Copies of this chain bind each other. A is one copy, B any other.
Amino acid sequence: MQDKNIPYKIYLDENEAPRSWYNVRADMKNKPAPLLNPGTLKPMTAEELGAVFCGELVKQELDDTTAYFEIPEKIREFYKMYRPSPLVRAYCLEKRLDTPAKIYYKFEGNNTSGSHKLNSAIAQAYYAKEQGLKGVTTETGAGQWGTALSMACSYFDLDCRVYMVKVSYEQKPFRREVMRTYGASVTPSPSDLTEVGRKILKLHPGTTGSLGCAISEAVETATKTEGYRYVLGSVLAQVLLHQSVIGLETKTAMDKYGIKPDIIIGCAGGGSNLGGLISPFMGEKLRGEADYRIIAVEPASCPSFTRGRYKYDFCDTGMVCPLAKMYTLGSGFIPAPNHAGGLRYHGMSSILSQLYDDGYMEAISVKQTDVFKAAEQFARAEGILPAPESSHAIKAAIDEALKCKETGEEKTILFGLTGTGYFDMVAYEKFHDNLMDDYIPTDEDLKVGFDGIPDIPMNK
């Protein structure tokens, strides 16, 4: 059954690994809208951003014309510890689906952080170190990003302060311990370490915290502590730039064996994985050199692409960060409590939002029990236990493969398998015990979030 000329798993050699990241904005005619200063409503300047982010990262964030950024040698050294990541042909899944489609997945879970987040974490830690900083701050919800960042900081001997949403801190002690193993300090948020934390604790004693609050605490700590900056794991242009390593490796591997994907699928939360995977393919599409169907898959319970509005909005629920133009459900939107997987961000990368608005990609939403069904089907066929996030892409890939079964088409489907589900067994347990439901927000539910989108001239 195996194609004799193509290995089961394609591992590129070290010398085939990308030496530059690719900045897809360089090939976009309609550039993503700039971040706005929430006070002046003018585009954020390098100086303003420099108070929060490292200098080099600010440059990357603002540069929408340079196509390639060289990956510094020290980052390439680190990448060698877990990259190039394997591109796998899902022979066993294809067989079980009895489909003529050829399914490939790029697997980013083969590192301790268990996800693709490490690709950007190590870059951000590197620039912090180069700038002579002592440390960085961040927030984490489920803990994937916090884990990746703590690993990266440990590598560069950089202090790492993570504000972890209190309910996750208590309910996900294992993620917390992984971060501690890598030397990070993990504080349940809200905490009494920050002004904003103390304020919230006074206002809402007994609160279990929120991502918005944790962001505010992390940003406050970064800006008030000498030698610290704040770092973020998704949404930003710099993050998509770093994550392009996923797509570049995939493209090199496919080109090497003469494989051309017809459909490219990625799960979409803030957009870091999807943006990274599709970057070089999207580049070809933007330049008119090739065509691909590109599909973003999001949870039906947090449908920013499929039901959101394309507006300037706050990036955080605390409304302390710059405004970004993006597909958004409103910074006040919070997915229903039954929502098990990740991908719970209210907005979406500005880059992807613009590409979606321009018709370069599609988006669909899927229900979570269908996602877990697909996850289990994938695990049993391919061995790997997928993260709930990644399983959104699996669900869509399986559906496309089944369509091929009906039509008899031998399409080549590529999807991003962003990570492993070792720390998500509570959700799997719910699924096994039939305690998971498929609540989808009503238009009424969404109205609350939409009403919080700021009423500014740019949104007229």
Contact = CB atoms under 8 A, between A and B. Distances in A.
A194 interface: no
Contact of A429 (B2, B177, B426): B177
Contacts of A177: 425, 428-429, 432
A111 interface: yes
A380 interface: yes
Contacts of A429: 173, 177, 180
A428 B181 contact: yes
A420 interface: yes
B376 A181 contact: yes
A360 interface: no
Interface string A169-183: 000011001101111
A98 to B, nearest CB: 15
Interface residues of A, number: 43
Contacts of A369: none
Interface string A78-94: 00111000000000100
B11 A7 contact: no
Interface in A376-425: 376, 379-380, 382-385, 420, 422-423, 425
A110 interface: yes
Interface string A1-35: 01000011101011000000000000000000000
Interface of A: 2, 7-9, 11, 13-14, 77, 80-82, 92, 110-112, 114, 151, 154-155, 173-174, 177-178, 180-183, 375-376, 379-380, 382-385, 420, 422-423, 425-426, 428-429, 432
